[in-house]
Structure 1
């Protein structure tokens, strides 16, 4: 088997299917055509020029170890493109791989990440970033779609959020495939999530880190320490979920002979990541019913809060429900009166993670028409406060990071 086949072989199936579906959507096709046209007409400073003006290029003589790591990952993933490496000063752990320019791949790392991560941890980070490149994730302009003036439909927004999480799973697999050291991979994700690097303060324990995910999957409990809970509902998967997905990947036939089958692997990943999706709209359990009632009251109240329910907001609401559901039959004033009761019921009968799931979806409706008015923002904040959520959760949902990391 060629090294080129390795990358395709380990890519997450949901990443493949969702990206293909998104790239077929007319609005995405149109936007990509517009962006390509703009790039041809307005040839401004390129990626390399911007990097040279804001960061330090690391030549092979300046950082042979990092170049050797990149060479190793390129070979493992079957990448032929030349690359350049850059570092910029920052106390935050961060890395990025930019959309190729003239066939050249550019990777950038924060100074703190290069200093704090071990060789195998860095191999994972480099492999992860090259995974985004080899899987051509940059073909979906998620930042332009979610951050542009013309807001996408809620169905596209939710599809993009879902795809981006599976894209991270694929990139994580590429990184783990390059590092070939699951404990180091998990430790890298722990460092990225917590910011902790000093073993004198906290000693990382893989089993305890994973038990956090098992508890969430079994009981729907909120995540504990290790990463901000609100990050769980944005574009990137909550770090313990990523480690869980990589653990089953490491146990699969893609890595070891006689391991779990590909179908079992992908089903396990879907189950793990599925806790982030809005399946409560069709669920028949008591928590699902409470979540559904809260969503209807909250979303309609938000849509009606400023100058009534607009056509865009009606369209946004309709995309959450099955065909035949009539929004016109809903009474906004009555639902607003019921909202406090439904908020209290949610606190009593659902977990924090479930309540955050509903609030994230209500924020999707709020973003259907921009800018979000002060009245809508205040109502969202009041709802989040009554649901006992972190003070900045709504703000993060309304202005979530919308690029792959």
Structure 2
């Protein structure tokens, strides 16, 4: 067993995890959705095959090697279930767990790639991620505020970064992790490790360079594959050194984790990079969002939570309560005043596009985009001095991804 294996956990993920554990709304839902491992085990015994030493000795030994590598007294079984998907999952209560691999992984992945997948699932158990069962909580999403749901998705994405580190620890090969990512996202099996790594690096660079805010990603439980690879590559050498017990990582760990947090945040749909506006545009952003939010009726709770989240990041000093009071008063007068103010403060096309991307996100945070919200986005666009075609480009981009 490696010493202090919990040090591998992504600190940013741990911070979000603790915030969720202390959240009263999450606590109330958790009281009602507590897991029953025996129920899950009964299902697996009836629909999957438990891997034993005599049944598939090579896979069983690989699994045991992963357990020894983690070495924290975890107790669980490995199952294989018939499926053509490259997927895996884990059900856990405390230190007891059951890992399920889809049969396609066992057939198409190389041993070190399978070790990465198994290690990833062990990471979820090791770090107690099962204490916040995202899918079960989201089934009760009507009882969660937009703010809490957003935090839940944000944590879930960060949790994948923590789990990937245990996957790399078990696999011992960044190339194998890259191959597992490649096969999962493409469905293809290629023996071109260097080309695959270059491809993932290139796609990450493209993602990082995009200014588009993708509202769909805000409601994804996993980060985009190239982002996961980048986060793993940045820490790979340290994990390999620790794996061979040549380093305890105490010097470089904090700095690297800080850099990885930046990687994740700047590529978050509502992250730092995507929410960077000039000082002159900050007020325009908030007015535009409110204008779109009230275009199909009164400002509702999901929309208000969304606006507060944006305000905290782009204009924490802004007196939002005063603006909300105006918005909730004479809505027609407020809307007319917004368009008048926007027309006096034109922005660059790039900032206009970012404002419209946020506008699309707020329009979608409570229901599908309505005709009234589309018209509101068009009015905003024209008032900012841009052609309406930009609105339809933004809508098309988001629909293509969603």
For the criterion TM > 0.5, the same-fold answer is yes
What TM-score results when the alignment is normalised by the length of structure 1?
Answer: 0.75
The worse-fitting range, judged by mean Cα deviation, of 229-238 and 67-76 is 229-238
2-side partners of 1:289 and 1:65: how far apart?
A: 60
* 1:254 positional shift: 7.3
Q: Which residue of 2 aligns with 1:400?
A: none
Q: Are 2:227 and 1:241 equivalent residues in the alignment?
A: yes
Q: How does 1:357-396 map to 2 (within 5 A)?
A: 358=358, 361-362=361-362, 366-367=365-366, 372=367, 375=370, 379=374, 385-387=392-394, 388-393=396-401, 396=402
Match of 1:320, SS state, is helix
Match of 2:294, SS state, is helix
* 1:45 positional shift: 6.8
For residues 375 and 220 of structure 1, do their structure 2 counterparts lie closer, same or farther at Cα, with a shift above 3 Å needed?
closer
> CA deviation digits over 1:305-338, x for unaligned, max 9?
5442235643553343246212233456449979
* 1:54 positional shift: 2.8
* 1:285 positional shift: 3.8
Residues 210 and 244, structure 1, Cα contact 8 Å, conserved in 2: yes
Which stretches in structure 2 are left out of the alignment for 5+ residues? 379-390
2-side partners of 1:299 and 1:107: how far apart?
A: 46
Q: Which residue of 2 aligns with 1:271?
A: 262
The worse-fitting range, judged by mean Cα deviation, of 173-182 and 248-257 is 248-257
Residues 295 and 362, structure 1, Cα contact 8 Å, conserved in 2: no
Residues 296 and 372, structure 2, Cα contact 8 Å, conserved in 1: no
Q: Which residue of 2 aligns with 1:61?
A: 54
Q: How does 1:80-91 map to 2 (within 5 A)?
A: 80-91=73-84
Q: Are 2:65 and 1:79 equivalent residues in the alignment?
A: no
2-side partners of 1:386 and 1:94: how far apart?
A: 34
146, 154, 170: which is aligned to 1:162? 154
Q: Which residue of 1 aligns with 2:236?
A: 250
* 1:28 positional shift: 1.7
2-side partners of 1:129 and 1:27: how far apart?
A: 27
What TM-score results when the alignment is normalised by the length of structure 2?
Answer: 0.76
Residues 10 and 173, structure 1, Cα contact 8 Å, conserved in 2: yes
2-side partners of 1:58 and 1:194: how far apart?
A: 27
* 1:141 positional shift: 2.9
Q: CA RMSD in A?
A: 4.1
2-side partners of 1:215 and 1:172: how far apart?
A: 22
Residues 182 and 250, structure 1, Cα contact 8 Å, conserved in 2: yes
- Bigger Rg, which one: 2
* 1:108 positional shift: 1.0
Match of 1:188, SS state, is helix
Which stretches in structure 1 are left out of the alignment for 5+ residues? 397-405
* 1:136 positional shift: 0.6
Aligned residues: 368
